[in-house]
C-alpha cells in the first residue's frame, strides 16, 4: 500500500501538545525546528501546507510561572493568550531559517458557522497559500467559552480541511496510529493500518485523551477523519516521533493509520451542494450559456440576462432559461446587486462595473449541479 499523502497537493498537518511541548510545560524548540524543516521539504516538493498547532496553553503556563495546566476557563484563556505569543515566535523563527514566511490565523467555531466569515477565512487562507506562506492555525482560546468552542485541535484541523478543501489531513500524535483498543491500557491491541473513514467500528476502538496535557484522545481524531471525508479528504494518523514522518509519507511510505474518504473531493462538494439546495434567487441565462453549462463550463456574467431575488456571495442560486426552465443550481460568487450590474458583462468589464474582480465566473462549474 502506498501513502495517501503521496498524491495530495493541499495538506493540513495537525501537531498536538505532546509533540511541540516539553511534557506540557513550555515549548520544545527543537521539535518545532524539526516540524519547520519537514514542512519546508514538503513545500520544496510543491505541496501546499497549513499547520494546525497546539501548544499555546503549555507555553503560557511556563511563561506565567505556574506549576501545572490550570483548570479554570479564564486561567486557560489567559495562559493561551500569553503562550500564543511564544508559539508564533517559535514558528516564525524556525520557518524563516528555511526562507518561508508564516501567518497566524486564530479561529473559533463561530467564525466557521457564519457564512460570511467562513467565506472570508477561506479566501484569506487561499491567498496565503498562493503567496507561498505557511498559515499556522490555532483555536482563538481567549474569546471562546466551553459552549461555543471547537474544543480540540483534531476537530479544528478537520474544519480547516473542509474550509480549504484540502486533499489530506495528517494528524500527528504520540502513538503510531489507531489500535483496536487504547494501547496504553491494552498492550495486546492490534494496529489498524487502513480503513474507510467514518466507519462506526472505528469509533468503538478509540478512547479519550491519555494525558493531562492533551484534550482530544483518539476519538476526536477518528471523528475528525469522518468530518474531513465529508469534503472528500483522506486522513492519516501517525506518530510525530517517527523520524522525518511527513517527508516519508509524502514520498509514498505508508506509515501510520490511513483513513480514506469514500468519495472524491468533487463528488463530495456536489453532494454537499445537492443537500443544501435551498435556492435564494435565480439568474436568467441566454441559450449560449445554457449549452455552455450543459457542456461542463462555468457560468460567466456575459450569458446572464436577468437577476431575480436578493442574495449574497456564497448563496445557492438557480440558473433558468429565458422560458423559465431551471438548468442548474450553484454557489454564486457575487451578490444580487453586483450580479444585476454584471448582466451581459465581459470578464474585462467586471472590475469597471462593480469596482472589483473576485472571480471571472458568476458560478464556477465545480460549485454547480446540473438539473
Ligand atoms: N484505539 C486507540 N489507538 C491509539 N491510541 C488511543 C486509542 N484510544 C485512545 N488512545 C490514546 O489517545 C492518545 C492520543 O491522543 P492525545 O493524547 O489527545 O494526543 P494529541 O495531543 O496528539 O492530540 C494516545 O496516547 C492513546 O493513549
Ligand atoms: N488550543 C490549545 C490546544 C488544544 C488541543 O486540542 O490540544 P491537543 O489535544 O494537544 O491537540 C493550545 O494551543 O494549547
pLDDT in tens, the chain (371 residues): 799 999 999 999 999 998 999 988 899 999 999 999 999 999 999 999 999 999 999 999 999 999 988 889 899 999 999 999 999 999 999 999 999 999 999 999 888 888 778 888 988 999 999 999 999 999 999 888 776 688 899 999 999 999 999 999 999 999 999 999 999 889 999 999 999 999 999 999 987 665 666 677 899 999 999 999 999 999 999 999 999 999 999 999 999 999 999 988 888 878 777 776 678 999 999 999 999 999 999 999 999 999 999 999 888 999 999 999 999 999 899 999 999 999 999 999 999 999 988 889 999 998 899 98
Per-residue confidence (pLDDT) for residue 211, from 0 to 100: 63
Of 19, 24, 26, 57, which is best to mutate to test ligand 2, by the most ligand atoms within 8 angstroms of its C-beta? 57
Domain boundary among 245, 266, 287: 266
Residue 141 marked as a ligand binder: yes
Q: Is the Cβ atom of 59 under 6 angstroms away from ligand 2? A: no
Is residue 246 assigned to a domain?
A: yes
What is the atom index within ligand 2 of the atom nearest the CA of 152? 6
Which pLDDT belongs to residue 208? 64
In the listed set 207, 234, 266, which residue is the last one of a domain according to the structure? Answer: 266
Ligand 2 close to Cβ of residue 215 (< 6 A):
yes
Ligand 2 atom with the shortest distance to the CA of 156: 6
CA distance 180 to 368: 40
**By alpha-carbon position, which residue is closest to atom 16 of ligand 1?**
217
Among residues 169, 187, 178, 284, the alpha carbon closest in space to that of 225 is found at 169
Question: Do residues 244 and 191 share a domain?
Answer: yes
Residue 119 resides in a domain: yes
Q: Would residue 5 count as lying in a domain?
A: no
**In angstroms, what is the span from residue 81 Cα to ligand 1's centroid?**
26
333 is in an annotated binding site: no
Residue 220 lies in a domain: yes
For the four alpha carbons of 11, 17, 23 and 24, in that order, the dihedral sign comes to: positive
Q: Is residue 18 in some structural domain?
A: yes
Check whether 286 is labelled as a binding-site residue.
Answer: no
**In terms of domains, do 120 and 256 share one?**
yes
Residues 355 and 214 in one domain: no
26: left (phi over 0), alpha (psi -120 to 50) or beta: left
**333 and 314 belong to one structural domain:** yes
Q: Which ligand is nearest to the CA of 219?
A: 1
Q: Structural domain of residue 186, as residue ranges?
A: 10-266
Same domain? 241 vs 319: no
Q: What CATH number should be reported for the domain holding residue 330? A: 2.30.130.10
Residue 241 resides in a domain = yes
Q: What is the pLDDT of residue 277?
A: 65
Grid cell, residue 305, equals: 440576462
pLDDT value at residue 347: 94
Our count of domains for the chain comes to 2
User: Do 234 and 291 sit in the same domain of this protein?
Assistant: no
**Residue 133 lies inside a defined structural domain of this protein:** yes
Residues 6+ apart with CB under 8 A from 157: 12, 14, 52, 169, 171, 224, 228
Is residue 119 domain-shared with residue 204, that is, in the same domain? Answer: yes
Given this model, what pLDDT does residue 212 score?
Answer: 64
Nearest Cα to Cα of residue 268 among 165, 122, 355: 165
Instruction: Classify each residue of 61-79 as buried b or exposed e, where b means 16 or more C-beta atoms within 10 Å of its C-beta.
Output: bbeeeeeebbeeeebbbbb
Residue labelled with grid coordinates 482560546:
141
- Please give the number of the atom of ligand 1 that sits closest to the Cα of 205: 1
* 146 shares a domain with 170: yes
Mark whether 257 and 283 lie in a shared domain: no
Q: Which ligand is nearest to the CA of 204?
A: 1
Q: Do both 250 and 355 map to the same domain?
A: no
Q: Is the dihedral of CA 178, 180, 183, 184 positive or negative?
A: positive
Same domain, 23 and 142: yes
pLDDT value of residue 214: 67
* 216 carries a ligand binding annotation: yes
Among the bound ligands, the one closest to the CA of 171: 1
Overall size of the chain counted in residues: 371
Residues 319 and 173 in one domain: no
**Residue among 27, 47, 191, 8 nearest 93 (CA):** 27
* Domain end point (choices 246, 266, 286): 266
Query: Ligand 1, from 24, 180, 207, 223: best to mutate by most atoms within 8 Å of Cβ?
Result: 207
Residue 174 inside a domain? The answer is yes
Distance between Cα 177 and ligand 1 center (Å)? 8
Beginning with the edge strand found earlier in the chain, give each strand of the sheet holding 257-260 in spatial order: 102-107, 134-139, 48-53, 10-15, 168-173, 234-239, 257-260, 194-196
How far, in Å, CA of 222 to CA of 73, rounded? 26
Residue 168: CATH number of its domain: 3.40.1160.10
Amino acid at each position: 500500500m502506498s501513502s495517501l499523502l503521496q498524491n495530495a497537493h493541499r495538506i493540513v498537518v495537525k501537531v498536538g501538545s505532546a509533540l511541540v511541548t516539553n511534557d506540557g510545560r513550555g515549548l520544545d524548540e527543537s521539535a518545532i525546528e524539526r516540524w519547520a524543516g519537514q514542512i519546508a521539504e514538503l513545500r520544496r516538493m510543491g505541496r501546499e501546507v497549513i499547520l494546525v498547532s497546539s501548544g499555546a496553553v503549555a507555553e503560557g503556563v511556563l511563561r506565567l510561572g505556574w506549576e501545572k495546566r490550570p483548570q479554570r476557563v479564564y486561567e486557560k484563556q489567559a495562559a493561551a493568550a500569553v503562550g500564543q505569543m511564544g508559539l508564533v515566535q517559535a514558528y516564525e523563527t524556525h520557518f524563516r531559517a528555511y526562507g518561508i514566511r508564516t501567518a497566524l490565523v486564530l479561529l473559533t467555531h463561530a467564525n466557521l458557522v457564519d457564512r460570511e466569515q467562513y467565506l472570508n477565512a477561506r479566501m484569506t487562507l487561499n491567498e496565503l497559500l498562493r503567496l507561498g506562506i505557511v498559515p499556522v492555525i490555532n483555536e482563538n482560546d481567549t474569546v471562546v467559552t466551553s459552549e461555543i468552542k471547537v474544543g480540540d485541535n483534531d476537530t479544528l484541523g478537520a474544519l480547516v480541511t473542509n474550509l480549504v478543501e484540502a486533499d489530506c489531513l495528517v494528524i500527528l500524535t504520540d502513538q503510531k496510529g489507531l489500535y483496536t483498543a487504547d494501547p496504553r491500557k491494552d498492550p495486546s491491541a492490534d494496529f489498524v493500518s487502513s480503513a474507510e473513514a467514518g466507519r462506526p467500528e472505528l469509533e468503538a476502538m478509540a478512547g479519550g485523551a491519555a494525558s493531562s496535557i492533551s484534550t482530544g484522545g483518539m476519538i476526536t481524531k477518528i471523528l475528525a477523519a469522518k468530518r474531513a471525508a465529508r469534503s472528500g479528504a483522506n486522513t492519516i494518523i501517525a506518530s510525530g516521533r517517527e523520524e522525518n514522518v511527513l517527508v516519508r509519507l509524502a514520498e509514498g511510505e505508508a506509515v501510520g493509520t490511513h483513513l480514506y474518504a469514500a468519495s472524491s473531493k468533487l463528488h463530495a462538494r456536489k453532494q454537499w451542494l445537492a443537500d443544501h439546495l435551498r435556492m435564494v434567487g435565480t439568474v436568467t441565462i441566454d441559450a449560449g450559456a445554457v449549452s455552455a453549462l450543459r457542456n461542463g463550463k462555468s457560468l460567466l456574467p456575459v450569458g446572464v440576462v436577468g437577476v431575480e431575488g436578493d442574495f449574497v456571495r456564497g448563496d445557492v442560486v438557480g440558473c433558468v432559461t429565458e422560458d423559465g426552465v431551471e438548468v442548474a443550481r450553484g454557489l454564486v460568487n457575487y451578490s444580487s446587486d453586483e450580479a444585476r450590474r454584471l448582466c451581459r458583462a465581459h470578464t474585462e468589464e467586471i472590475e469597471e462595473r462593480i469596482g472589483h474582480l473576485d472571480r471571472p465566473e458568476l458560478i464556477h462549474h465545480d460549485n454547480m449541479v446540473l438539473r
